Structure 1
Amino acid sequence: MIPINETFNGTFPFAPHVSTVAGYRMHYVDEGEGPVVLCLHGEPTWGYLFRELISRLAADHRVIVPDHMGFGKSETPADRTYWLQDHIQNLEQLVLALDLRAITLVMHDFGGPVGMGLAARHPERIARIISLNAPVPFGQPELAAALQANAATAPWFQWILQAEAAGTLEQVLTQLHYHILSTLHLNGFERKDLITDTWLAAWRTPFTTPADTLGALGWAKGFATGAHVFETPSAAVQEQISRLPAMAVWGMADQTLQATHFLPLFRTLFPAGQLHELPGVGHYSPEDAPENIGLLVRRFLDATPLLL
């Protein structure tokens, strides 16, 4: 766990907030005032991924960025499970405790299934959907087929499945502090100029000890063993969500979540949604293209005003 006041040489200057409503110390950023933008990270990242977006939006939005249990500045309890349904439950409790409404979800990686799980449970609280290389469909046969097809060729998922079969997944991921850079490379980012001592410290510090890696291990193992439960809303709720303003921004060099498998599902769920393909941008699109993404998000927010 990262020390609560750590700013990584001023690159993450946001005041820390802590909630215990979910039964552990959950850290979150809460910057600015205005319509709520809720940013959800994935594996093996934390709120640092959204640092540029927070700065761009906080002048006229309330930007909330939680670290999932086991990631970033949040606690990593030893007696909890780290499956998708656990993260959805934790997020739901935070959202209800803060009484967040008219939420714009901004999701990356497994933040997609977590955020869509929240939307399925509380569609009345969700106003807009933004996917940044994040799967957004619900637990349906089409999603299962896409995940299976993606895993057949995605290096990250191939490694997870092979390591679990060989009994080495825990051995490798509990040492994530030492090989975080190779893990990020395997998932895919293109801007190698980002790699500085400060940047590397920001990504490796959450996993300083094996006990700190339960979140990263849980997400990988849950996929390999089928422990994750994707939320499935009623037909009426799904129809309600599908009418929301939605935008997908996809780094097309993403080899972890490949566009060919997931963008058709976005188009099906959100037939009127916007879609922006970013050539040469990898899986960690907020790292590779913060300026482009910031501009696209701003234009989308401005073009879809909320009736508050």
Structure 2
Amino acid sequence: MIRSDATFDGTFPFAPRFTHAPGFQMHYADEGPRGGEVVLCLHGEPTWGYLFRHLIPVLSQTHRVVVPDHMGFGKSQTPADRSYWLQDHLDNLEAFVVALDLTNISLVLHDFGGPVGMGLAARHPDRIRRIISANGPTPFGQKDLLDRLTANALVSPWFQWIARAEASGELEPVLGQLGFNILSTLKLNGFEDNTVITDAWLSAYGTPFARPADCLGAIGWARGFAISAHRFETPDATADRAIRGKPALAIWGEADRTLLAEHFLPLFSAIFPAAPVKRLAGVGHYCLEDAPETIAGLIAEFIRQT
């Protein structure tokens, strides 16, 4: 866990806030007017709220931007007695949202934040205003979800490595040293703009994983796929109907080597057939690192228009 006051040379200057609502110390940033519509940004593997550091100042001028760190990531606690499957993170997020009484939420979803956020939408459709996928899958009860996950895993270097590493017993030892191999892990998943790599940037992404005991979150999300432990939330008919009527936007870096557009954009379009899809050439999986200004502009304009 990172020190609560760490700003990484001022690149993450947002006041740290904490809640114990999910049963552990969960960190979040909360910027912008309290009376404004909420933008809830959800990160994935193996990042934290730092991923949204360029988006927060843009959107917080007019909206309340809330950015939690999932259990085992960023400045949040990594309890040793908890499991780290998808459904656990969804339970945590639900407790967080209810405790803060967040409503009128525009979800911004990246990577694993996609299924966590869509799970929240399935449980609380009345709290959701918009859905924004930024290289974030949007599973929502689609019948072909398993087929798409399987097809993607056959060609994704990250998912291929997960399968081999779990079978050979290497997954936990390797990801248990994530603080030392964070750059190779991020590059394997796919980001393209090497100019962002500074000492502060490496420290921001590596410090949360200083010891094997700090890596349970990253291990859990990877292992959950290898052993099929993750459970995707399925909406009931009322939630399905409600969410399909929400404004939605997909932004996808086409150089994503982990979640290929051909397998995951159809999941989005199956729910939101009339929604705009912005495909960004040369932008990788960590699209908010590769093209932060472009993505901030697209999201701000989409929120303004809707």
Give the TM-score normalised by the residue count of structure 2: 0.98
Match in the other structure for 2:222: 220
Aligned-pair CA distance for 1:274: 1.2
2:8 matches 1:8: yes
Of 264-273 and 203-212, the range deviating more from structure 2? 264-273
Q: Deviations over 1:257-291 (max 9, x none)?
A: 00000111111111121110000000000000001
CA contact (8 A) 1:39 1:65 kept: yes
Unpaired segments of 5 or more residues in structure 2? none
2:80 matches 1:78: yes
Task: Letter of the 1:102 partner, please give it.
Answer: N
Match in the other structure for 1:62: 64
SS in 1 for 2:67: strand
Aligned-pair CA distance for 1:139: 4.2
Match in the other structure for 1:275: 277
SS in 1 for 2:159: helix
| Whole-angstrom distance in 2 between the partners of 1:15 and 1:143 | 38
Match in the other structure for 2:27: 27
SS in 2 for 1:141: coil
Change (3 A) 1:139 1:170: farther
| Whole-angstrom distance in 1 between the partners of 2:166 and 2:123 | 32
2:240 matches 1:238: yes
Match in the other structure for 1:94: 96
Match in the other structure for 1:298: 300
SS in 2 for 1:80: coil
Unpaired segments of 5 or more residues in structure 1? none
Match in the other structure for 1:134: 136
2:69 matches 1:50: no
Change (3 A) 1:168 1:107: same
The 5 A counterparts of 1:156-171 are: 156-171=158-173
Task: Letter of the 1:258 partner, please give it.
Answer: L
CA contact (8 A) 2:139 2:232 kept: no
Aligned-pair CA distance for 1:171: 1.0
Aligned-pair CA distance for 1:154: 0.2
Task: Letter of the 1:214 partner, please give it.
Answer: L
Aligned-pair CA distance for 1:140: 3.6
Task: Letter of the 1:26 partner, please give it.
Answer: M
CA contact (8 A) 1:139 1:229 kept: no
Match in the other structure for 1:247: 249
Task: Letter of the 1:40 partner, please give it.
Answer: L
Aligned-pair CA distance for 1:141: 3.0
Match in the other structure for 1:17: 17
Aligned-pair CA distance for 1:138: 2.0
| Whole-angstrom distance in 2 between the partners of 1:128 and 1:140 | 19
CA contact (8 A) 1:137 1:269 kept: no
Q: Deviations over 1:174-208 (max 9, x none)?
A: 01111000000000000001111111100000000
CA RMSD of aligned residues (A): 0.7
Of 41-50 and 138-147, the range deviating more from structure 2? 138-147
| Whole-angstrom distance in 1 between the partners of 2:197 and 2:178 | 17
